[in-house]
Amino acid sequence: ILGEIVSLLPTKEGARTQTLASRWSHLWRTAPLNLDCRDLPADDDGILLGAFLSAHEGPVHRLCLPSRHLRDRAAAVDGWLRSPTLDNLQALEFYLDTPVRYGSFMHSPPASIFRFSSTLRAATIAQCHIPDNAVEMLRFPQLQKLELVEAKISEGSLASLITSGCPALESLLLKTCGSFHIRGLRINSPTLKFIGVFSMFVELIIEDAPSLERLLHIILHVKMRLTVTSAPKLEMLGYISEYADSKMTFGSTSIQDLRIDSLTTVVRTIKTLAIHSNFNLHMVIDLMRCFPCLENLYMKVMLLISIYVLVSSFSFDLVGSSEVVDVSYLFRFRNLQQG
């Protein structure tokens, strides 16, 4: 039990348990660890990490490194990843800890990550270039969660990575706010349950996703084209924006900027919907004709009123049918800062 407690502690606190009592002194050296460089002094994280990996006698299940090490300490990173202590690594994260330098040379993930193909279940790749020839070799049959943050990858390679490189993938997060935008992506995955997009997407096509339950597009003021051909379990969808010249298509039903262009079939699977709009209740009620089984509707409203910003959050609970709507309002005012 003590070993499990130590394995759950942050890296620095886990190492300090050796000083608590004599019976604790050996626990940290043999307990399964979660090594996170965010818990270490930034100037010495490389030295301390190397010491941890060489001294630790137990396994490391999770390793988190700043992506800048791929640029500044590429050889050291490759050496760390080849440590026998990481033989059963389950989660690997290269996280952003410095501002993204667009236009600068981006390093690729080290070849040593391939050795975790049979054990890795979660991966975060930040500020890296993933070339097409590397994607052809990537095979992570156990990977369930993948996050790509400011990563440069071609659309074809990304689709291949989802479809064949990670056949057990359940969660996909794509975050690119700078110059590395995916202009179009087709999703064909029997296992994906969640897709989160924080990017300047132009077109996202869900061709065949029988397990998909949640689809979230986080950036509000961005043009988005979403086509859903087959996602029979999709229950949560958002944000749909009124302001970004966005269009959604479900089969032959089309919605343009929250206005119904064509309603030939309804989407009965959606139970939670998030939209970004002005307070146009008639348009919202009309939109709900597309989603007759809706249970929760979240609306984000931004209105400038005199020197105040009004941020409104609306929750619509549908009881039985779309004709019975219980609307609750939460208003929060704050002064508009003078710039």
Residue 301 lies in a domain: no
Residue 308 lies in a domain: no
Predicted confidence band of residue 165 (pLDDT cuts 50, 70, 90): very high
pLDDT at 234: 96
Residue 31 lies in a domain: yes
Number of domain units in the chain: 1
Q: pLDDT per residue over 272-318, tens digit each?
A: 998 887 777 788 888 888 999 998 888 877 654 433 333 333 343 33
Residue 102 lies in a domain: yes
pLDDT at 309: 36
Residue 124 lies in a domain: yes
Residue 264 lies in a domain: no
Residue 258 lies in a domain: no
Query: What whole-number distance in Å separates Cα of residue 134 and Cα of residue 125?
Result: 14
Average pLDDT over residues 223-232: 90
Q: pLDDT per residue over 169-191, tens digit each?
A: 999 998 875 555 667 889 999 99
CATH of the domain at 91: 3.80.10
- Supply the range of the domain harboring residue 64: 2-236
pLDDT at 237: 93
Residue 246 lies in a domain: no
Per-chain mean pLDDT for the chain: 78
pTM for the model stands at 0.80
